């Protein structure tokens, strides 16, 4: 279980790191090298995003990565095969990030079954509220994999508790409104949002959207269990190449 894994690795004064790749960007071979480099550098969990043509929760960095991965031939089946390779090779949990249309086109129960069979431990579906996800949530429960739901600063206390009632593994707390990759103010306002998230669920709390450096990660220590670094890791790849990923990940804790 993801919850047990997170709690087992948690220590006072330490926060877990979860990084993000778009499978097939800049190529499948490069994606494998990025995973290897990130794991060797000490990440605790990883998100594998299945490319989609309209990733509405994502900003320009991840949007472009999705488009280029699709243009290079990345597909759901290739992402599933990629997941088989990395879960067999690396001893950290992997979760899928996928938009709901991908699941519907593939077949929701087929997707969840195949995901579980390939060792993926959970999924984040950013555009699927629980009210519309009955089949997905049932399939996830049957397969023994975990739906990771999103908490937003705009959500009321009642809404957060409702989301928490359907979540398993951990919850993904958004540091701000908007899409991935934009600037985030790590400040008192965010502290208040994180306290609200904590109050809504006993599950571990992951925080993403705008985490980019050691200072941001340090801010979250004691306030969250997992810091999620997504867009900025892709920027490092874009600007400096795959070989820069290891030093970047290490710098988040150095």
Nearest-angstrom CA–CA distance, 80 and 115: 7
For residue 76, which of 96, 106, 47 has the smallest C-alpha distance? 106
150 Cβ contact list (under 8 Å, min separation 6): 124, 126, 163, 171, 172, 173, 174
Output the CA–CA distances (angstroms, integers) from residue 116 to 1, 196, 203, in the order listed.
12, 32, 21
Catalytic residue selected from 58, 146, 216, 225 = 58
3-state secondary structure at position 150: strand
Is residue 142 flagged as an active site residue? no
Which 8-state DSSP code applies to residue 254? Answer: -
Is residue 58 flagged as an active site residue? yes
Please state whether the peptide bond connecting residue 26 to the residue before it is cis, i.e. omega within 30 degrees of 0. Answer: yes
Nearest-angstrom CA–CA distance, 240 and 254: 19
Nearest-angstrom CA–CA distance, 122 and 49: 12
Nearest-angstrom CA–CA distance, 121 and 204: 15
Catalytic residue selected from 47, 146, 216, 225 = 47
Residues belonging to the active site: 47, 58
């Amino acid at each position: 279980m993801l919850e047990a894994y997170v709690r087992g690795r948690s220590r006072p004064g330490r926060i877990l790191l979860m990084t993000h790749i778009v499978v097939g960007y800049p190529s499948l071979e490069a994606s494998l090298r990025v995973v290897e480099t990130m794991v060797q550098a000490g990440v605790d969990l990883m998100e594998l995003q299945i490319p989609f043509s309209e990733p509405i929760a994502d900003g320009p960095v991840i949007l472009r990565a999705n488009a280029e991965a699709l243009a290079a031939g990345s597909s759901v089946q290739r992402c599933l095969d990629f997941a088989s390779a990395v879960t067999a090779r690396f001893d950290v949990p992997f979760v899928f990030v996928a938009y709901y249309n991908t699941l519907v086109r593939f077949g929701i129960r087929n997707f969840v079954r195949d995901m579980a069979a390939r060792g993926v431990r959970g999924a984040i579906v950013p555009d699927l509220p629980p009210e519309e996800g009955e089949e997905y949530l049932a399939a996830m429960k049957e397969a023994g994999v975990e739906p990771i739901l999103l908490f937003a600063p705009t959500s009321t206390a009642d809404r957060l508790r409702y989301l928490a009632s359907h979540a398993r593994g951990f919850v993904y707390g958004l540091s701000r409104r908007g899409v991935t990759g934009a600037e985030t103010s790590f400040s008192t306002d965010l502290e208040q949002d994180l306290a609200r998230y904590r109050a809504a669920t006993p599950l571990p709390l992951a925080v993403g959207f705008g985490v980019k450096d050691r200072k941001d990660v340090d801010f979250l220590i004691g306030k969250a269990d997992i810091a999620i670094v997504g867009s900025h890791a892709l920027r490092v790849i874009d600007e400096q190449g795959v070989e820069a990923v290891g030093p970047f990940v290490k710098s988040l804790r150095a």
